[in-house]
Each structure stands twice: as structure tokens, then as C-alpha cells.
Amino acid sequence: KAGVTQTPRYLIKTRGQQVTLSCSPISGHRSVSWYQQTPGQGLQFLFEYFSETQRNKGNFPGRFSGRQFSNSRSEMNVSTLELGDSALYLCASSSDSLGARNEKLFFGSGTQLSVL
Amino acid sequence: GDSVTQMEGPVTLSEEAFLTINCTYTATGYPSLFWYVQYPGEGLQLLLKATKADDKGSNKGFEATYRKETTSFHLEKGSVQVSDSAVYFCALKLSRNEKLTFGTGTRLTIIP
């Protein structure tokens, strides 16, 4: 079974641009979550999608948005990039088949975004 | 709100040393607790978990016990190896539709 796939692996953008990151979950997984990882803040939750609906949202500005398609693939978009958006963006999927609170998350290797 | 506090890193140990990484949590209910590990250049992997008080999670020689009275979930390993060098994250999840809340991570380096 293929793991969680994130593309691209690396991105370099300049301030003011926008960027779209992609995540393909493990086959059969319906829940996709996005996290921002920085050395100073650690892992910060962005949002979670389940069956094409946003189920949870973290405390990020509206410049950060996402969506999920019918095949469970997800995209994350950041508009008007700022220097502080430089981070590793991680996507995680889970089956959520039982809705259990001990559901295991499977993470991708992330997209390293650098904003210059 | 719910939060996780981990011991500050980085932690450097010699091979075969005993490891403890402290983790305490604050939560309004009874969360499930997790340890995730991130090897260089990779995403996070679940290392172990515990879902209720006094449960012990274990995997690959690592152990952690869910202590409700001290709100802790410390990670331990009796004899570390160079291959254990990674960043370790403690995390909690309160309920089905809640997000996973992570600590800031502890970087562990094992020297031969």
C-alpha cells in the first residue's frame, strides 16, 4: 500500500506570491489533516478535511485555505506569501473508519516551502 | 486549551544509555496520548500510544505509561542505539473530531 504522498518536495517562492501544495492520502483514507512545522513553533494544526468537508480548523489567517476532492486528495493554498510562512508543511491521513480518538495518523514527508 | 509540554532539547546520549523524555499535558477531559517520531528528511511516524489511565504503550524497546495523577506520558528506553537519533513528539487527542495537539518536539542524538 502506497503511503501519503506530498508534492512538490521543495518550493521556493517570493513574498506576495501564492502557492498550492498537494497531498494524496493512503488509499481508502477519508480524513486528511495539514500541519505547519517550524523550528520555533513546532507542529501547528492548520485544518482537517473529511469527505470533502472541513471538519476542524486551526488558528491561521484566511490566507491559508484548503480543499478535498472526491477521491480524498487534498490541496492546501497559501495566498500573499510572507517570509514567516517558510516552513515544512505536513499532510497526514487516517481512515477514521471507527471515529476512534486513538486513530493513527500517517504522515507524508512534507513540502519544504521557502519564501524569499 | 489543551496543550502538551515536552522537555527541552536537544538531548545527546551515548549508545546504550538510558533514555527519558518527559511529557506532561493539560486537557479538559481524558485524552488519548501518543508519541510520534520523525527521522531526518521524513514525516512523522506513530511510535506508541495509550488510550486510558495506567495503560502502557510500547514499541521498538520504547515505553510510556499514561499517568493520570501526574498528567504525564514520559518516554523511556533502556538502551538507545544510534538509529534512535530523531525528533520525538508527544501528542494528545481529546475526542473523535478533535485535532492532534503536539508538543514542540525533542531532538535526540545518540553518539557511538
Identify the band that residue B42 occupies on the pLDDT scale cut at 50, 70 and 90: confident
Q: What is the pLDDT averaged over residues B22-33?
A: 92
Identify the band that residue B14 occupies on the pLDDT scale cut at 50, 70 and 90: very high
Q: What is the pLDDT averaged over residues B10-21?
A: 96
Per-residue pLDDT at B10 exceeds 90: yes
A10 beta partners: A112
Q: What is the pLDDT of residue A42?
A: 86
Per-residue pLDDT at B54 exceeds 80: yes
Q: What is the pLDDT of residue B99?
A: 82
Q: What is the pLDDT of residue A114?
A: 97
CA distance, residue B41 to nearest chain A CA (Å): 7
Q: What is the pLDDT of residue A95?
A: 81
Q: What is the pLDDT of residue A97?
A: 56
Per-residue pLDDT at B25 exceeds 80: yes
Contact A56/B99, CB-based, under 8 Å? yes
Per-residue pLDDT at B109 exceeds 60: yes
The whole-chain average pLDDT of chain B stands at 93
The phi, psi pair for B98, rounded to 5°, reads -90, 155
Identify the band that residue B97 occupies on the pLDDT scale cut at 50, 70 and 90: low
Which residues of chain B lie closer than 8 angstroms to A7, CB-CB?
Answer: none
Contact B51/A99, CB-based, under 8 Å? no
Q: Which residues of chain A have pLDDT under 50?
A: 98
C-beta pairs of A100-105 under 8 Å, 24+ apart in sequence: A100/B96, A101/B31, A101/B32, A101/B51, A101/B93, A101/B94, A101/B95, A101/B96, A101/B98, A102/B32, A102/B49, A102/B51, A102/B93, A103/A31, A103/B93, A104/B46, A104/B49, A105/A33, A105/B36, A105/B44, A105/B46, A105/B100
CA distance, residue A15 to nearest chain B CA (Å): 25
Contact A55/B97, CB-based, under 8 Å? yes
Q: Which of B36, B41, B49 sits opposite A109 (nearest CB)?
A: B41
Per-residue pLDDT at B62 exceeds 90: yes
Contact B95/A4, CB-based, under 8 Å? no
Which residues of chain B lie closer than 8 angstroms to A33, CB-CB?
Answer: 99-100
In this structure, of A11-20, A102-111, B3-12, B102-111, the range with the lowest mean pLDDT score is A102-111
CA distance, residue A25 to nearest chain B CA (Å): 13
Contact A110/B95, CB-based, under 8 Å? no
